[in-house]
Structure 1
Amino acid sequence: MLASASTTVWPTSSTAQLGGYSAAVSALTGMSPASPEARLIEVYRAIGRGNRRRALALAEALTRSVPNFQLGQLVYGDLLLASAGPRHGFGAIPRGLDASGAEMGDLREEARRRLAALRELPPPGAVPQQVLELALNTRHVVAVDASHSRVYVFEHRDGQLHLLRSHYASIGRAGFGKSTEGDLRTPLGVYYITSRLDDSQLDELYGVGALPLNYPNEHDRRLGKTGSGIWLHGVPRASYSRSPYATEGCVALANDDMGALLSILEPRRTPVIIAEEIHWVQPQTLANRRNEFRELLQRWSRARAQADLKTVMAFYSPQFRSGSTDFRQWGQAKARELATAGRRFLILKDLSILAWKRESEVTLMTFAELRQGDIRGPVKRQYWARERGEWKIFFEGVIG
Structure 2
Amino acid sequence: MQNKKIFILLIFILLRSSLMASNMELLTHYRNNGIEDIQKQLDLSLTQKAYWNEYLKNIDTKFGYLESYDNVLTCDKSQSQLSLYMKDANNTYQLQKVYSAYTGKIKGDKHKEGDLKTPVGVYKIVQKISKVDSFYGPMAFVTSYPNTYDKYQGKTGKGIWIHGLPTLQQRDEFTKGCIAINNPGIECLDKHININKTLLIINESSVDKNISKDFLGDVLSNLYSWRYAWIYNDVENYLNFYANEFVRFDGMNLEEFKKYKKRIFAKNEKKTILFNNINVIPYPESENIYKITFKEIYKSNSFSFTGDKVLIVKLINKKINIITEK
Normalised to the residue count of structure 1, the TM-score between the two structures is 0.59
Alignment of 1:144-223 (within 5 A): 144-157=75-88, 158-199=90-131, 202-223=132-153
CA distance in 2, matches of 1:317, 1:204: 47
Partner of 2:203: 275
CA distance in 1, matches of 2:114, 2:317: 34
**Deviation beyond 6 Å, 4+ runs, structure 1:** 372-376
Q: Deviations over 1:223-263 (max 9, x none)?
A: 33222211111111137x966x4211100011221123234
Q: Post-superposition shift, 1:197?
A: 1.2
Q: Deviations over 1:108-138 (max 9, x none)?
A: xxxxxxxxxxxxxxxxxxx896x21100x31
* Count of residue pairs brought into register by the alignment: 263
- AA of the residue aligned to 1:354: I
Q: Post-superposition shift, 1:368?
A: 2.0
Given that 2:135 and 2:168 are in contact with CA atoms closer than 8 Å, whether structure 1 keeps it comes out as: no
Change in 2 beyond 3 A, CA 1:294/1:388:
closer
Is 1:301 aligned to 2:227, yes or no?
A: yes
- AA of the residue aligned to 1:325: M
Secondary structure, counterpart of 2:283 in structure 1: strand
Partner of 1:331: 258
Unpaired segments ≥5 residues, structure 1: 1-126
Give the stretch that moved more between structures: 381-390 or 307-316: 381-390
Partner of 2:292: 365
Change in 2 beyond 3 A, CA 1:289/1:360:
closer
Give the stretch that moved more between structures: 230-239 or 256-265: 256-265
Change in 2 beyond 3 A, CA 1:347/1:204:
same
Q: Post-superposition shift, 1:337?
A: 4.5
Given that 2:219 and 2:315 are in contact with CA atoms closer than 8 Å, whether structure 1 keeps it comes out as: no
Give the stretch that moved more between structures: 360-369 or 287-296: 360-369
- Residue identity over aligned pairs, in percent, reads 24
Change in 2 beyond 3 A, CA 1:376/1:219:
closer
Is 1:381 aligned to 2:310, yes or no?
A: yes
Secondary structure, counterpart of 1:196 in structure 2: strand
Given that 1:193 and 1:266 are in contact with CA atoms closer than 8 Å, whether structure 2 keeps it comes out as: no
Given that 2:207 and 2:284 are in contact with CA atoms closer than 8 Å, whether structure 1 keeps it comes out as: no
Out of 213, 217, 228, the position equivalent to 2:158 is 228
Q: Deviations over 1:152-206 (max 9, x none)?
A: 111124332111222111111223422222121111121222222112xx22211
CA distance in 2, matches of 1:328, 1:134: 33
- AA of the residue aligned to 1:324: G
Q: Post-superposition shift, 1:370?
A: 3.1
Normalised to the residue count of structure 2, the TM-score between the two structures is 0.71
- AA of the residue aligned to 1:174: I
Structure number having the greater helix percentage: 1
CA distance in 2, matches of 1:261, 1:335: 48
Higher RCO, 1 vs 2 (CA within 8 Å, ≥6 residues apart):
2
Secondary structure, counterpart of 1:321 in structure 2: coil
Give the stretch that moved more between structures: 368-377 or 388-397: 368-377
Unpaired segments ≥5 residues, structure 2: 1-59
Given that 1:174 and 1:185 are in contact with CA atoms closer than 8 Å, whether structure 2 keeps it comes out as: yes
Larger-Rg structure: 1
Secondary structure, counterpart of 1:274 in structure 2: strand
Is 1:350 aligned to 2:277, yes or no?
A: yes
Q: Post-superposition shift, 1:294?
A: 0.7
Given that 1:184 and 1:248 are in contact with CA atoms closer than 8 Å, whether structure 2 keeps it comes out as: yes
